[in-house]
Each structure stands twice: as C-alpha cells, then as structure tokens.
Amino acid sequence: MTDLIIIGAGGHAAEINDYICFAQLESDVQQIQIKGFIDDNPNSYQAYQFSAPYLGTIKDHVISKNASYLMAIANLNYRRPIIERFVENGATFISFVHKTAYISPSAVIGNGSIIGPNVNIGPNVKIGEFNLINSRCSLGHDTQMGNYNFISPNVCFSGFTAIGHENLFGINSVTIPHISVGHNNKIAAGMVLDQNVKDDEVVFYRFKEKIIAVPKK
C-alpha cells in the first residue's frame, strides 16, 4: 500500500481526493492511503470535506521518505517550481489513473501524471511527466505531450497533436489533426485550434454579442 501526501488543499485537491476514495470503494484491496494535505493557505483546506488531515504548509514541509506525493495545485505558476524543489529534496511522486479511464495498451504515461474520470487515451499516445488530464478528455492516436501541462475537462486532441510543456487548455478546447502547440501557452475555453501555436501565447476569440429584441405583446 502507498502512503500518499497531496500537495495542495483547494478545489483541485478535493477532486483528486474524491478520485482516490472512489478507487478504494471499487477495489477489494486498498492500494493508496492518503496521509494528508499540505497547503500554504490553511483556509483552503477548511472549504472542503477531505478524507485526511491538514499537515501544514508547503514551504515548511519536511519531505517524508516513507510517503509518495501527488501535485494537486492547478496554477501553472506554482506546479513546476514546487515539484522540482520537492524532487531535489528526495520526494517520490506517483501517477494516478482513474478506474473509469480507457488507456490504450500502446500508450505511455510519464511519472507524476494524473488521469481523471472517463478520459480516453488512444494508441501510441505519449504523455510526459506531471501532467493533469482532467475528466472526459480525449487524446487521439499518436498525440505527444511534454511535461507540466494542465488539461481542463472535455478537451479533445485529434490524432497526431503535439503539445509542449506547461500549457493550459481551457474547458472544451480542441485541436484538429496534426496541430503543434509549443510551450507556456494559455488556450481559452472553447477554442478550436486549426493553426499551430508557438510559445508564450494566449489564444482566445472575442465574439460580438447579438441582441435579439422581443417585442412586448
């Protein structure tokens, strides 16, 4: 059994807590035991009903050699620096795949990544380290992904999509086949990427509002 400490105690951490508890209910063997949560804002922990105690701040945390870790902070400004500091100090990270996800036998998932409920990962997909693939995402065949990406719910990557490092994809965003996305980009919710994206870009469309006047009877 793996003793687990979760980094973060906000909404994303609450979701991961529920994922793991669901996995325990569906299995006769308890494979993960959550020991607790660490967060620099103690008030975050109070907002949710977690299954394990608050263990203190991230900045003051002493790495446990007897436990493994999962990153549960969604903000890309904090994910990589915290993970790198923890790894440098001897922390061991694990991956977590929700029981309802479909993973092709030929897919490869890097260490520290989280695969949420009802995710579909197709043939020859390669996912790097410390990525979050949220619920109901679909990664088409031959998709390649780097490290530290945050993929929001309902995102769909068509076949042969190439994703770099530290990108944020908003909910319901999609790519057409053979699209390439570089590093450190923010893709707004609902965007359809039909062109390649380089580095350090924000992709969004500003739609004009259409007002329909309904005459009074």
Region 2-94: CATH code: 3.40.50.20
Choose from 26-40, 92-106, 194-208 the range with maximum mean pLDDT.
92-106
**What does the pLDDT look like over 28-45, one tens digit per residue?**
556 899 999 999 999 999
132: phi then psi, degrees, rounded to nearest 5: -115, 115
Q: Using pLDDT thresholds of 50, 70 and 90, give the confidence band for residue 82.
A: very high
- Among 113, 109, 168, 173, which residue's Cα sits nearest to residue 137? 173
46: phi then psi, degrees, rounded to nearest 5: -70, -15
**What does the pLDDT look like over 129-149, one tens digit per residue?**
999 999 999 999 999 999 999
Q: Could you give the CA distance from residue 17 to residue 71 in angstroms, rounded to a whole number?
A: 12
Going from N- to C-terminal start, the domains of the chain cover 2-94, 96-200
Helical residues (DSSP H) of the chain, grouped into ranges: 11-25, 42-46, 76-88
Residue 166 has pLDDT above 80, yes or no: yes
Query: Which DSSP state fits 166?
Result: S
High-pLDDT (> 90) share of the chain, %: 88
As given in the structure block, the two tokens for residue 187 are: 């893709």
Q: What is the pTM of this model?
A: 0.90
**DSSP run (H or E) holding 35:** strand 32-38
What pLDDT score does 15 carry?
Answer: 96
Region 96-200: CATH code: 2.160.10.10
3-class secondary-structure state, position 45: helix
Cβ(78)–Cβ(130) under 8 Å? Answer: no
Tell which phi-psi region holds residue 88, choosing left (phi > 0), alpha (psi between -120 and 50) or beta.
alpha
**What does the pLDDT look like over 171-201, one tens digit per residue?**
999 999 999 999 999 999 999 999 999 999 9
Q: Using pLDDT thresholds of 50, 70 and 90, give the confidence band for residue 213.
A: low
- Among 146, 202, 137, 205, which residue's Cα sits nearest to residue 171? 137
**Which has the higher per-residue pLDDT, 59 or 214?**
59
